Structures are given as structure tokens and as C-alpha cells.
Amino acid sequence: MSAEQRIIIEMGMGTDLHGGDVTKAALRAVDNAMRRSSLPVFGAIDMEHTDMRVQVTLGTHDPAAVDTARIAAHMPRGRVTVTATEGGLQLEDGIVVVTAAVEAFLPVQTGKWRLSEP
């Protein structure tokens, strides 16, 4: 594997207020993080989205209950890895809170940046 540099990290939070579904809350947390992100860098360095590695880390009270394959399939770009770890919250009445960190990595781009034309 070549050297990589992280180009973005976004945090998000998602909930399921009625069913206690940690995968549903995790999808909402990932969506919450991605809504604040845009990656116009690909046009500036002539790189395909498939060259990007995406690491999703989810904090939940029940990591084993997260359908990580479903979360990975939900991601719009990149080669995705999803990890669920202890964290988040479980409250009464089936309320769950999941946190997400979505990180994107590219191979080191030293000397590859170019200015866009006006």
C-alpha cells in the first residue's frame, strides 16, 4: 500500500427514537457527517473517486448489531471500510444514538496539484 494522506474527516450523529435499530441510527449518523462535506479535489488532481479510501468508524452501545456491509454499500464513493466500536447511547424506550467519523484518504499528492482555469 502506498503512503496516504487524510483529506477530510467529518463527524455525525444519528438516532433511532422508537425502534432501537442501531443500523438505522448509524446510517443517519453517516448521512449527517456527509452533508457537510464536498470533495472537489478530484478534478484538481485528475484522480478517480475509486482511488479514495474511506474509513467509517461508528460508536454504538451494540457494535455487533450494526450491519457494516449495509453502511459500506450506502457510501457514494471510494473503497469503504466500516468499523463499529463501543460508544454512543442507549436510552429508555428504544432510543439509540450512534456517532460516526467519516475519513477519506488519498495517496500522497505532493507536486500533483494544479490550478483550475478561470
Q: What is the pLDDT of residues 73-97, one digit of tens each?
A: 999 999 999 999 999 999 988 999 9
Q: Which residue has the higher pLDDT, 40 or 78?
A: 78
Contact between 96 and 89 (Cβ < 8 Å): yes
Helix or strand run (H / E) with residue 43:
helix 41-44
Q: What CA–CA distance (Å, rounded) separates 111 from 16?
A: 45
Q: Three-state SS for 3? A: coil
79-86 vs 53-60, strand pairing mode: parallel
pLDDT, average across residues 105-113: 75
Q: Which residue has the higher pLDDT, 3 or 118?
A: 3
Q: Which residue has the higher pLDDT, 100 or 49?
A: 100
Q: Three-state SS for 36? A: coil
pTM: 0.86
